[in-house]
Amino acid sequence: MKIKFLGAASTVTGSCYLLTPQSGQPILIDCGLFQGSQDLEKLNYLNLDTDCSQICGMVLTHAHLDHCGRLPTLLSQKFNSKIWMTSPTRDLTELSLFDSAKVNKADKKDIALYDKDQVTEIVTHFVSSDYETPFPLGSFRIIMRDAGHILGSASLEIEDQSANEQFKKIVFSGDLGNSPEDLIAATELINSADAVVMESTYGDKIHPDGNPSLVIQSEINAIEQSGGTLLIPAFSLERSQELLHRISHLKKSGKIKNETTVFFDSPMAEKATVIFEKYYQLYNQELKDDYKNGDPFHFPGLNVIEDYTQSRGIEKYRGPKIIIAGSGMMTGGRILDHAKTYLPQNDTRLLIVGYQAEGTLGRFILDGQKNVKIEGTPVSIKATINDIQTMSSHADYPKLLRWLKAISGVKKVFLTHGEDGPRTALVERIKSELGISDITLPIFNQEVVI
């Protein structure tokens, strides 16, 4: 068995792997966008370093763009096979890709990565399968397990049925959740594997203890007192729904004012919320209970913004207000217009609630820069900046180790989906705490015989 690392090697984004069994029929796992610096994003325009016409099928772990965002580009590379995923991932990926095509057209114009017609075509390749239900793909037998990261996210158990040697079964973690999560069920553990490809986004960190709702309440109480604006850049999938759920609880408990207006300025996130409501059976028990007692994502004072004209009109609203808008790393979307308007104001607060990759506007601001350029416009930052690390949807290193420890028989580990600092730190912890010594830190386009 061989594996080629076509993305997410030495970086957090661009997840993509080519897995070739002993029989020689390769499959693809994920095909995500590179996000962050300009040098990274240029990689999105390169063809995969393989013959895509020979790929017999593909599996998608989840619907975040750094895992699915390059799918339409496969069409011009003669890819013509089925793409397997869970049903929620199917719905959320279709939504994500059409939104990505729209953003590409607006931002890139003549050099857009793909358009909506290519998205329409790639969606016809999608096939759904349930967790725990084995399916064949070439000479592989594959089972998807709940990764607990976002709705529909999966870890993959892949067994090479053509192999007659010691390495028959490999596990791909996908992105592992920071269980227990606010909305979805816990990360499912896996019993055994010969080799593991594991994410390492927070391989050097322990998420601090704390209740994110207390920070959200404090930020909202501050703008209720000052009459200012709270900006929250949020990813459309999972994070936006978690914010709505937590604000709903704060309003019901009287910890923030019912009349405080929340502008939900993300059409994609609103559509994702509808998909979340469709798959209520995958909620954790607390959210299932909330669902039985009413809509867990809507509350008094919520103002859902539909079009761009309404979005621009938010500026006219006087009084304390909360604006939740995409994108989560401030790399595009409606949050940028709001940032240009409100970050230079002293009574604005910016609350970062997700991971900020190197080279993104969100990372620059979080690192303390006071003068930035947003879409070519110089912006002086006078707003108060805060962040919540306890809302991460990625496992920290103790949870990564706990997940890996549960897998018996592991002989090799490949650490991906992390910057080199976190990856290197995780190597030492795996060696010292789990006793696994054969650990590889792959680089871009490296191929390894397992």
Q: Are residues 125 and 256 located together in one domain of the fold? A: no
Q: Do 133 and 112 fall within a single domain?
A: yes
Mean pLDDT of 426-444: 97
- Same-domain status, 402 and 306: no
> With bands split at pLDDT 50, 70 and 90, how would you rate the model's confidence at 442?
very high
Are 286 and 336 within 8 A, CB to CB?
Answer: no
| Judgement on whether residues 441 and 343 belong to the same structural domain of the protein | no
Same domain as 417, residue 330: no
Task: Specify the pLDDT at position 109.
Answer: 61
Residue 289 lies in domain = 212-387
Asked if residue 19 and residue 57 are part of one domain, the reply reads yes
* Confidence bin at 163 (pLDDT 50/70/90): confident
Q: Are 119 and 101 in contact (CB under 8 A)?
A: yes
User: Among the three residues 361, 387, 413, which one is the final residue of a domain in this structure?
Assistant: 387
Regarding whether 278 and 192 lie in a shared domain, the answer is no
Within this chain, do residues 200 and 216 fall inside the same structural domain, yes or no?
Answer: no
The reply to whether 313 and 400 lie within a common domain is no
Which residues does residue 379 pair with via DSSP β-bridges, in sequence order? 372
118-158: pLDDT as tens digits: 999 999 999 999 999 999 999 999 999 999 999 999 999 99
Whole-angstrom CA distances from 48 to 6, 120, 181, 438, 444 are 7, 21, 34, 27, 11
Q: Is residue 80 over pLDDT 90?
A: yes
Using an 8 Å Cβ cutoff, are 239 and 328 in contact?
yes
- One DSSP character per residue, 320-356 reads -EEEEES-TTSSSSTHHHHHHHHTTSTTEEEEE-S--
Residues 246 and 356 in one domain: yes
Q: Do the bridges between strand 154-160 and strand 27-31 make them parallel or antiparallel, or are there none, so unpaired?
A: unpaired
Other CB atoms within 10 A of residue 265 CB: 24
Per the DSSP assignment, residues forming a β-bridge with 128 are 85
Total domains in the chain come to 2
**Do 348 and 259 fall into the same domain?**
yes
The vertex-425 CA angle with 34 and 197, nearest 5°, equals: 55
Q: What is the pTM of this model?
A: 0.91
For residue range 382-417, what is the model confidence (pLDDT) as tens digits? 999 999 978 888 999 999 999 999 999 999 999 999
Q: List the alpha helices (DSSP H) in 30-86.
A: 38-42, 65-68
CATH code for the domain in which residue 368 is found: 3.40.50.10890
Q: Please give the structure tokens belonging to residue 239.
A: 């994070």
- pLDDT at residue 1 in the model: 92
